Amino acid sequence: MSVAVLNPATEEAIAELEQAGVEETDAAVARARDAFPAWRAVAPQDRARLLRRLAALVEEHKDELARIESRNVGKPIAGARGEVGMVAEVFHFYAGAVDKHHGQTIPVAGGVDMTFREPLGVVGLIVPWNFPLNIASWKLGPALACGNTVVLKPAELTPLSALRLAELALDAGIPEGVVNVVVGKGSVVGQRLVEHPDVAKIGFTGSTEVGRSVMEGAAGTIKRVTLELGGKSANVVFADADLERAAASAPYAVFDNAGQDCCARSRILVQESAYDEFIDHLVRATSALRVGDPADESTEMGPLISAQHRETVASFVDDEAEILYRGDAPEGPGFWFPCTLVHASNEDRIAREEVFGPVAAVIPFDGEEEAIRVANDTPYGLSGSIWTRDGARALRVARALETGVISINSNSSVRVSTPFGGMKQSGFGRELGMHGLDGYSEVKHVFYSTER
Ligand code: NDP
């Protein structure tokens, strides 16, 4: 069966792709299994060289990849170019990490004990539609660096950039069978990867609900899993912060990628004594955001991914919502939704569930203790920010927040060289940085007796 791939800004079909089933998935796993012994045996420096070549090819094809991503996801082209830049950086980083990820020698009686970082084998990578190429690279980089072969399943809605990346991997000289992309439904291809006895690990990014089913499915074969799931992160603004700077940055922290970002600071917690002043700045900054044609270089926010998703997002802004600001969005075709700021309590649905759209809940709080309590009162724990001029408070609150990633006087928390991942129901395992390698290798220890 073939399925049309749409441009969410125009609703036009931009490709028609055959959907793989269980048989094609099994064939891809078999190719990856066959390719594994030779790939793991490639000398570290040569594997690094191949990853470096892939990074260079991604850089060379930056405009092409950015255009693919922009048309398929509805991302503003300037942002898409930045994302492709990060993909290249990821491959550069893991090329450099290949020969720096090594074992230890441990003092023991009667001999020498040494550890090795062994690859897992065939790994299944299941990625979502919000940052298709970026999130694929966060998994592919460390998986390949450690000597695994991979089967990558992109989201049904956004398979195009993954297919192009697989071609570039071949052009880079990475052998046939090492990187396999299978386009098909999550409930078919994804599920099969999760249950397949020859798949050693699943690296998953997506919803908490599907993450739960991945964990359940993986139990059958005691498969390793790392899960990067949803978020409902807090952007905590204290009255002593540089309010203008915090407000100027806040819209990008939640409306970037039209809010379809697991790190979105979608709960903006503002200390009551500064609430009115902050809201004035925030509304001004939000109204300046340029929403429109993703192909336009100056656009900052595009449409949502699908009609169905727009319906879900709209359901959070009902007649009872206390709207502080609602922006404009283009009329006509495309899955547009305006930037929306809603005054809320942390008990409201809009503050509890992941909206995954350009809708922020603004929640007042009284003091530091209440800020911590409200920020932590969520099943999620992925990201967040703290804005204050009091350095001791910034660190106190950063340590108290139950979240895997946090930024102080900034909303930026994703970097190639630093660990990324969640606490609580935002998942477990860390991606990026040297920590990312732990999820794609297993420690083996070897005892070598030196007794006569
Ligand atoms: P999903 O969790 O459904 O999709 C993520 C990936 O998992 C996709 O490749 C999907 O394939 C695949 N998948 C779906 N079902 C299964 C399954 N049973 N077994 C294995 N893999 C499966 O996210 P959605 O795209 O449906 O988005 C729903 C919500 O999830 C969003 O509104 C948002 O709240 C959250 N989300 C969070 C993301 C994050 O970055 N943490 C990313 C995306 C979504 P297919 O596309 O073919 O269904």
Write the secondary structure of the chain as one string of H (helix), E (strand) and C (coil). Answer: CEEEEEECCCCEEEEEEECCCHHHHHHHHHHHHHHHHHHHHCCHHHHHHHHHHHHHHHHHCHHHHHHHHHHHHCCCHHHHHHHHHHHHHHHHHHHHHHHHCCCCEEEECCEEEEEEEEECCEEEEECCCCCHHHHHHHHHHHHHHCCCEEEEECCCCCCHHHHHHHHHHHHCCCCCCCEEECCCCHHHHHHHHHHCCCEEEEEEECCHHHHHHHHHHHHCCCCEEEEECCCCCEEEECCCCCHHHHHHHHHHHHHHHHHCCCCCCCEEEEEHHHHHHHHHHHHHHHHCCCECCCCCCCCCECCCCCHHHHHHHHCCCCCCCEEEEECCCCCCCCCCCCCEEEECCCCCHHHHCCCCCCEEEEEEECCHHHHHHHHHCCCCCCCEEEECCCHHHHHHHHHHCCCCCCEECCCCCCCCCCCECCCHHHEECCECCHHHHHHHEEEEEEEEECCC
In the structure, what pLDDT confidence band is assigned to residue 437 with cuts at 50, 70 and 90? very high
pLDDT, tens digit (0-9, with 9 covering 90-100), for 38-96: 999 999 999 999 999 999 999 999 999 999 999 999 999 999 999 999 999 999 999 99
Looking at every residue in the chain, the average pLDDT score rounds to: 98
Amino acid at 164: R
Q: What is the mean pLDDT of residues 259-273?
A: 98
Q: How many C-beta atoms surround the C-beta of residue 428 within 10 A?
A: 18
User: Cβ(80)–Cβ(133) under 8 Å?
Assistant: no
Q: Which residue has the tokens 């379809």?
A: 260
User: Cβ(83)–Cβ(70) under 8 Å?
Assistant: no
pLDDT at 163 (0 to 100): 98
Of the residues 24, 83, 228, 354, only one is catalytic, namely 228
Ligand 1 pocket test, pick from 139, 158, 199, 207 with the greatest ligand atom count within 8 Å of Cβ, gives: 207
Q: Which residues of 58-80 are buried (b: 16+ CB within 10 A; e: fewer)?
A: bbebbeebbbbbbbbbbbbbebb
Nearest CA to ligand 1 atom 9: 155
Ligand 1: distance of its center to the CA of 207 in Å? 5
Of the residues 146, 262, 263, 339, only one is catalytic, namely 262
Ligand 1: distance of its center to the CA of 298 in Å? 30
What Å distances lie between residue 210 and 183, 262, 382, CA to CA? Answer: 18, 14, 17
Confirm whether 262 is a catalytic residue.
yes
Q: What is the mean pLDDT of residues 186-210?
A: 98
Q: What is the mean pLDDT of residues 389-413?
A: 98
Confidence (pTM): 0.97
What Å distances lie between residue 342 and 179, 309, 332, 346, 374, CA to CA? Answer: 44, 19, 25, 12, 17
CB burial of residue 285 (10 Å; 0-12, 13-18, 19+): middle
Ligand 1: distance of its center to the CA of 81 in Å? 24
Atom of ligand 1 nearest to the CA of 154: 9
Ligand 1: distance of its center to the CA of 155 in Å? 7
| Residue 82: both structure tokens together | 């930045």
Confirm whether 146 is a catalytic residue.
no
Q: What is the mean pLDDT of residues 344-369?
A: 98
Nearest CA to ligand 1 atom 35: 207
| Residue 26: both structure tokens together | 């099994």
Atom of ligand 1 nearest to the CA of 309: 32
Q: What is the mean pLDDT of residues 331-338?
A: 97
Q: What is the mean pLDDT of residues 16-44?
A: 98
Q: What is the mean pLDDT of residues 425-447?
A: 98
User: Cβ(406)–Cβ(398) under 8 Å?
Assistant: yes
Q: What is the mean pLDDT of residues 247-251?
A: 98
pLDDT, tens digit (0-9, with 9 covering 90-100), for 123-147: 999 999 999 999 999 999 999 999 9
Integer Cα distance of 243 and 233 in angstroms: 19
In the structure, what pLDDT confidence band is assigned to residue 1 with cuts at 50, 70 and 90? confident
Which protein residues touch ligand 1 with a CB less than 6 Å away?
A: 126-130, 153, 155-156, 185-187, 190-191, 194, 205-207, 210, 213-214, 228-230, 262, 354, 356
pLDDT at 189 (0 to 100): 98
pLDDT, tens digit (0-9, with 9 covering 90-100), for 102-127: 999 999 999 999 999 999 999 999 99
Ligand 1: distance of its center to the CA of 186 in Å? 8
pLDDT at 132 (0 to 100): 98
Question: pLDDT at residue 21 above 90?
Answer: yes
Nearest CA to ligand 1 atom 19: 191
| Residue 120: both structure tokens together | 């897992």
Question: pLDDT at residue 365 above 90?
Answer: yes
pLDDT at 319 (0 to 100): 86
Nearest CA to ligand 1 atom 15: 186
Nearest CA to ligand 1 atom 32: 356
Ligand 1: distance of its center to the CA of 128 in Å? 5
